[in-house]
């Protein structure tokens, strides 16, 4: 995703990178028919993939969400149960609401912190000093490792009782605890891991910062604006479409957190359910308790909720995202 945004941004300097809302409608091609067929033929590998890997399984899971499908039984003994799974979710599964809470806390804290870290580092790197390219690469590295299991294992060991973090604390005479084994702190370590992987939004911010016209800063400083004022009056407004883009992506990412929680808790969401993310609860329901119908229902509620959150972000975007199109 990010490379696309970056290249489009480069081609026309005054325009911000193409955020999701920056579409422009084009005139329809005059000729139809043959062109369309050829288009679909060229698209077919992708279309087939979309159908086989995304669309059909999604429809299947929608269907399954109304059944008591349990993975192991004969298909013949799978029954249609109507809205029972949904009813159970909202009224009879306390762990569901707990998982929602854990996930919301995680996303609400991790996403802004990650974006702030990304923007802060991007601002520093944008000052153009020797070796900035090297640092850019280094800061981006953790994102390349992404949701990797190895990274989560390293994290668990770092924040364990005898981990590197506690060795560091001991230099200052502080005796740390086993952070990952403490229900009050386990989620915190996961948030920290997510924030640390700020490389992807950072690169996008950096590309956005390079688009800010120098004349604006010159004009601002002629008017007597200091660096802080310049940041709020020039940088932030020009950057707002990029912030918007990153906010949408990272919010969705935040809600979908799974790997690190799975590894840290050995797949249980422990200690004491403190890392029971929504997706992890879904996985446990489907694959260890064999309630795949229920898990499918959870997946659909999840999809709709994320859609809703994204829609809300889009609505609020009207009030704070500024598009300075080329003709301004």
Report the nearest approach of another protein to the CB of residue 299 (Å). 12
Q: Which of 44, 73, 157, 167 binds another protein (CB under 8 A)?
A: 73
Considering beta carbons, is residue 188 or 267 the nearer one to another protein? 267
Residue 86 touches another protein, criterion: CB under 8 A: no
Using alpha carbons only, give the angle 147, 106, 267 rounded to the nearest 5 degrees.
55
Do 293 and 66 form a contact (C-beta atoms < 8 A)?
Answer: yes
Residue 72 touches another protein, criterion: CB under 8 A: yes
- Which residue is it, tokens 């996008």? 204
Q: Find the binding residues for another protein in span 281-300 (CB under 8 A).
A: 287-292
Stretch that binds another protein, among 31-39, 121-129, 176-184, 229-237 (CB under 8 A): 176-184
Q: Find the binding residues for another protein in span 195-254 (CB under 8 A).
A: none
Question: What one-character-per-residue DSSP string does 32-80 give?
Answer: -SHHHHHHHHHHHHHHHHIIIIIIHHHHHHHHHTTB---SSS-GGG--B
Q: Which of 38, 116, 272, 311 binds another protein (CB under 8 A)?
A: 272
Residue 133 touches another protein, criterion: CB under 8 A: no
Nearest one of 283, 233, 229, 291 to 259, comparing CA atoms: 283
Report the nearest approach of another protein to the CB of residue 75 (Å). 4
Report the nearest approach of another protein to the CB of residue 128 (Å). 43
Considering beta carbons, is residue 67 or 111 the nearer one to another protein? 67
Report the nearest approach of another protein to the CB of residue 305 (Å). 22
Do 160 and 106 form a contact (C-beta atoms < 8 A)?
Answer: no
Report the nearest approach of another protein to the CB of residue 60 (Å). 6
- CA distances in angstroms from 32 to 29, 40, 244, listed in the order given: 7, 12, 36
Q: Which of helix, strand or coil describes residue 24?
A: coil
Residue 76 touches another protein, criterion: CB under 8 A: yes
Q: What is the largest CA-CA distance in the chain?
A: 78
Q: Which of 5, 64, 297, 321 binds another protein (CB under 8 A)?
A: 64
Q: Which of 205, 273, 275, 282 binds another protein (CB under 8 A)?
A: 273
Residue 176 touches another protein, criterion: CB under 8 A: no
Considering beta carbons, is residue 72 or 228 the nearer one to another protein? 72
Q: Find the binding residues for another protein in span 18-57 (CB under 8 A).
A: 52-53, 56-57
- Which residue is it, tokens 């990797």? 148
Considering beta carbons, is residue 67 or 197 the nearer one to another protein? 67
Alpha helix positions (H), the chain: 2-11, 34-49, 56-64, 84-91, 94-125, 132-145, 149-158, 164-170, 186-196, 199-209, 214-222, 227-230, 236-255, 259-265, 278-283, 292-320
Please give the size of the binding site for another protein, defined by CB under 8 A. Answer: 36
Considering beta carbons, is residue 160 or 211 the nearer one to another protein? 160
Tokens of 125: 């790197």
Report the nearest approach of another protein to the CB of residue 103 (Å). 18
Instruction: Count CB-CB contacts under 10 A for residue 193.
Output: 23
What count of Cα atoms within 13 Å lies in the side-chain half-sphere of residue 113?
16
Considering beta carbons, is residue 187 or 292 the nearer one to another protein? 292
Q: Which of 18, 145, 177, 310 binds another protein (CB under 8 A)?
A: 177
Do 17 and 211 form a contact (C-beta atoms < 8 A)?
Answer: yes
Q: Where along the sequence are the contacts to another protein (CB under 8 A)?
A: 52-53, 56-57, 60-61, 64, 69-77, 92, 161, 177-178, 181-183, 266-268, 270-273, 287-292
């Amino acid at each position: 995703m990010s490379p696309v945004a970056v290249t489009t941004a480069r081609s026309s300097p005054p325009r911000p990178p193409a955020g999701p809302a920056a579409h422009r409608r084009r005139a329809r091609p005059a000729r139809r028919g043959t062109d369309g067929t050829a288009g679909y033929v060229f698209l077919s590998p992708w279309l087939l993939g979309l159908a086989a890997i995304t669309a059909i399984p999604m429809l299947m899971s929608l269907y399954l969400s109304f059944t008591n499908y349990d993975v192991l039984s004969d298909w013949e003994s799978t029954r249609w149960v109507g809205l029972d799974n949904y009813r159970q979710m909202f009224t009879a599964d306390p762990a569901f609401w707990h998982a929602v809470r854990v996930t919301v806390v995680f996303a609400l804290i991790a996403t802004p912190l990650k974006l702030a870290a990304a923007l802060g580092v991007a601002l520093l790197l944008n000052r153009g000093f020797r070796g900035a390219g090297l640092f850019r690469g280094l800061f981006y590295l953790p994102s390349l490792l992404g949701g990797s299991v190895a990274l989560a294992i390293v994290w668990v060991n770092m924040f364990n009782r005898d981990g590197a973090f506690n060795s560091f604390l001991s230099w200052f005479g502080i005796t740390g605890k086993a952070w990952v084994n403490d229900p009050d702190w386990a989620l915190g370590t996961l948030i920290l891991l997510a924030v640390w992987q700020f490389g992807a939004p950072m690169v996008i911010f950096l590309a956005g910062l390079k688009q800010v016209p120098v004349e604006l800063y010159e004009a601002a400083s002629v008017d007597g604006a200091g660096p802080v004022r310049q940041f709020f009056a020039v940088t932030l407004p020009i950057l707002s479409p990029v912030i918007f883009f990153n906010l949408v992506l990272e919010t969705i990412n935040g809600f979908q957190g799974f790997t690190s929680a799975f590894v840290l808790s050995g797949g249980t969401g422990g200690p004491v359910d403190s890392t029971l993310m929504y997706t992890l609860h879904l996985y446990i329901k489907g694959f260890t308790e064999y309630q795949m119908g229920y898990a499918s229902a959870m997946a659909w509620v999840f999809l709709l909720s994320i859609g809703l959150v994204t829609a809300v972000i889009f609505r609020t975007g009207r009030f704070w995202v500024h598009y300075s199109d080329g003709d301004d």
